[in-house]
Structure 1
Amino acid sequence: MSKYKLKSSKSILKRFKVTANGKLLRHKACRSHLLYKKTSQHKQKLRKVVQVKYVDFISLQAKII
């Protein structure tokens, strides 16, 4: 067992939210600029918060804890 606790990545803590069940939530990308090209329906879908896929969750989990 390690003697010291590793620091959690501050950039990851700002971008993701951990739920009560331990899942990770994230915002969708592509909503910061060039919005005039995107339809309002597309921008509406980009507003939603989605759950991180399990494959990505494994690599992020070590950096959060």
Structure 2
Amino acid sequence: MPKMKTTKAAAKRFKSTGTGKLKRNKAYKSHILTKKSQKRKRNLRKAAITDATNVKNMKKILPYI
């Protein structure tokens, strides 16, 4: 049986926590920052846990993470 391949684009964007949950960075922080409030930009810095509805698909494309 051949090995399963990891989707490299996803591997660069997601990290696994100690309990096996997937950690991700938030979107909308790369450009057009002048109209966004300081509070909004500050909250976008923090990492988030991937939603439970997406975890099944994420585990499929990240078999070894």
TM-score above 0.5, yes or no: yes
Which residue number in structure 1 is paired with residue 4 of structure 2? 6
For structure 2, list consecutive stretches of 5 or more residues without a partner in the other structure: none
Q: Please report how far the alpha carbon of residue 35 of structure 1 lies from its aligned counterpart in structure 2 after TM superposition.
A: 0.1
Asked if 1:34 is matched to 2:32, the reply is: yes
CA RMSD of superposed structures (Å): 0.6
State the secondary structure of the residue aligned to 1:45.
helix
TM-score by length of 2: 0.92
The equivalences for 1:44-63 within 5 A come to: 44-63=42-61
Q: Please report how far the alpha carbon of residue 39 of structure 1 lies from its aligned counterpart in structure 2 after TM superposition.
A: 0.6
Detail structure 1 runs of 4+ shifted over 2 Å in the superposition: none
Kindly provide the CA deviation profile for residues 23-51 of structure 1, in whole angstroms up to 9, marking residues without a partner as x: 00000000000000001011001001010
State the alpha-carbon separation in 1 of the partners of residues 34 and 12 from structure 2.
27
> Which structure has the larger Rg?
1
How many pairs are equivalent?
Answer: 63
Which residue number in structure 1 is paired with residue 20 of structure 2? 22
